[in-house]
Chains A and B, each alone.
Chain A
Amino acid sequence: MSAISYSDVNADILRTLERPKPAYFLLLIGFVTAFAIGVISWAIQIDVGLGLSGISHPIGWGFYITNFVFWIGIGHAGTLISAVFFLTRAPWRAPVYRAAEAMTVFAVMTAGLFPLIHIGRVWYGYWLIPYPNQRMLWTNFKSPLMWDVFAVTTYLTISVTFFMLGLIPDLASMRDSARGIRKFLYSSLALGWNYSYQQWLHYARGYLILAAFAAPLVFSVHSIVSWDFAMAMIPGWHTTIFAPYFVAGAIFSGLAMVITIMVPLRVVFDLKKYVTDHVLQSLARVILFTSFIVGYSYCTEFFIAYYSGVNFERAIFYFRPFGEPGSGLPFYPEGQMGFAQIAFFIMFFCNVISPLPLWRWKVRNNAIALFIISILINIGMWFERFNIVVSSLSHDFNPTLWGTYIPTPVECGITLGSFGFFFTMFLLFTRAMPTLAIAEVKEMLTPPYRQANHDHVPWREYATERSEDKD
């Protein structure tokens, strides 16, 4: 990177905000349409009733909760990269973290919709907020769903704050070079940033602290989401490994999504010299690692189910891969396969098998290969959540009230819509904000020295420890 100078960075990144190619608008139209489909489907569902979705008795949660967990999972990579890797000082973080963080914000926004979509009376959704009311009716803080409400809102708020804070210096430099409405917009968002050390001082410290806050949040949020399931007593849900299992899965899918986004992004905006292959392959390494945690968790589940000796547990983990127990009745066919089994095998292939090529350096450094694998992983992780949510519910304690899941157009439409929403937001973001963190990329660069020799540090001989700010 040493070839790049400070002014290049500004130039390169400002370039990304110029008038885009028509392809951009085509893409945008596509996603907006998808979003519209989702909105219409939801409207119909609200009007007619939840019966329009495939959810039924005993399978009380279906696509919607699956999507919720999926998007929350996606929403993990951003904060992971921007906070955790900031604390660990990962050198390849700077170029990807802005886009990743934007992704996080939008993913969590998308996820936040689904609890509302899935409840029976969305028009009373606000009852989930503990607001003071005349009857002094409060919410049940013992309910995992209540924890969810707090975890997700906190996560959204913090990641937005973190995102905006990181943006401030860049917005300021946008401001300095923009004109017209944009100038007004940026300068109002930049909150009077002027690059003076009075500000940098607190900024650096504040950013560090915020990172320190966000880091545990990354792990807590998905743990809490996992407790929605682990706190219930349904076999297949009621497991202690759920928290780490979910967090690993979340990071896994999140990073995959980062790659899915960064690979085209760096081509379109021609940012190869910042988002280098090295950056991508570092992401790939983490993916490989998390993929192993996930795979390990799958096996653990099966082992524990067997080892516990609880036949409810055994039954569900027999059902997932092998289908109906049958138990020798001609009118109850054994091993009858269904949606649950398909989901299981897709999940296993995509999450455990498909990342294996990443062992090879060649594959890790091949953007195309990475892109394909990342897509597979995204699919796989969606089905993992489906597998957890649906197949566990479909075969729980009372065999006579078991059920099967049949997806419907409406819920597929809403799912499609969620992707539409997410990508629409992201496209708009790439137009409005710098997709790379200008200031932080500069930090990575070698600063302009007059003496080429960097060991020559003239200020050292004058430098004095300041006792305390004196007026």
Chain B
Amino acid sequence: MRKPFKGLWASFPYLDDAATVAAKLQQDGSDYSVLSPCPRHELYEAMGRPTSRLPWITLVFGALGIFFGYGFPSWTALDWVLPVSQKPIVGIPAFTIIGFELMVLLGGISTALSVVLLGHFELFRHKLPHSPAFKAYNRFSNDRFGIVVRCEEGDAAAMEQLMRQYSAEEVVREF
């Protein structure tokens, strides 16, 4: 953690309001985060369709899986040759199955892990409030949309004004 959280957060009962606020913040390029009970395309659009690097990780591990899937059986087969019924010692068709399975296995596990990890990396860069008030507030998992803005104390007034304008239920400053 480079610096403690400075800024304010607000909760919205309505999706369209939250989306609009997000869009505005996105427009004037302030550092903000959006919270919502479930992923919604409105918010996604409002935030300007952010992208994820996750697929690249999957690709790498998937490829690794294929490599092992062919490599390992071939090596074990050649390590000590045990012929079985005239079948080629390195049986590519047979090993294809192993290749496929390992690709899925490594690819899948790496994906799942990176979902969790990447999410947390982002949070290092864009912090959320640490205040007990924020922690105690558990309706984002239920039916409220939230916007967190990281800003200097000076801009706080303007920000709060913006939130209020879009009928934020409550706005909390944390400095």
Contact = CB atoms under 8 A, between A and B. Distances in A.
A214 interface: yes
A274 B73 CA distance: 48
B142 A7 contact: yes
Interface string B8-19: 000001111101
A224 interface: yes
Contacts of B50: 197, 201, 466, 469
Contact of B94 (A142, A209, A469): A142
A462 B20 contact: yes
A142 B45 contact: no
A255 B51 CA distance: 36
Q: Report the contact-size class of chain A (Cβ under 8 Å from the partner).
A: 35 or more
Contacts of B111: 206, 209-210, 213
Interface string B27-70: 10100011111111011011111111011001000000000000
Nearest to B82: A140
B105 A154 contact: yes
Interface string B118-144: 111011011010000000001011110
Contacts of B46: 459, 462-463
B161 interface: no
| A interface, over-half SS | helix
B77 interface: yes
B5 interface: no
Interface string A170-199: 001101110000000000000111111111
Interface of A: 5-7, 10, 130, 136, 138-142, 146-147, 150-151, 153-154, 157-158, 161-162, 164-165, 168-169, 172-173, 175-177, 191-207, 209-210, 213-214, 216-217, 220, 224, 439-440, 442-443, 447-451, 456-466, 469-471
Contacts of B138: 176-177
B72 interface: yes
Contacts of B47: 197, 466
B19 A209 contact: no
Contacts of A469: 50-51
B143 A6 contact: yes
B16 A157 contact: no
B174 interface: no
Contacts of B36: 195, 197, 200
Interface string B84-114: 1001000100110110111011011101101
Given A138-B77, A466-B47, 20 more contacts: A10-B141, A10-B142, A141-B94, A195-B35, A197-B33, A206-B54, A209-B55, A213-B111, A214-B108, A439-B37, A449-B14, A457-B19, A458-B16, A458-B20, A459-B20, A460-B45, A463-B48, A465-B48, A465-B49, A466-B26
A450 B14 CA distance: 6
Nearest to A220: B100
The 9 closest A-B pairs by CB, nearest first: A198-B122, A206-B115, A176-B138, A6-B143, A138-B76, A199-B119, A459-B23, A173-B141, A466-B48
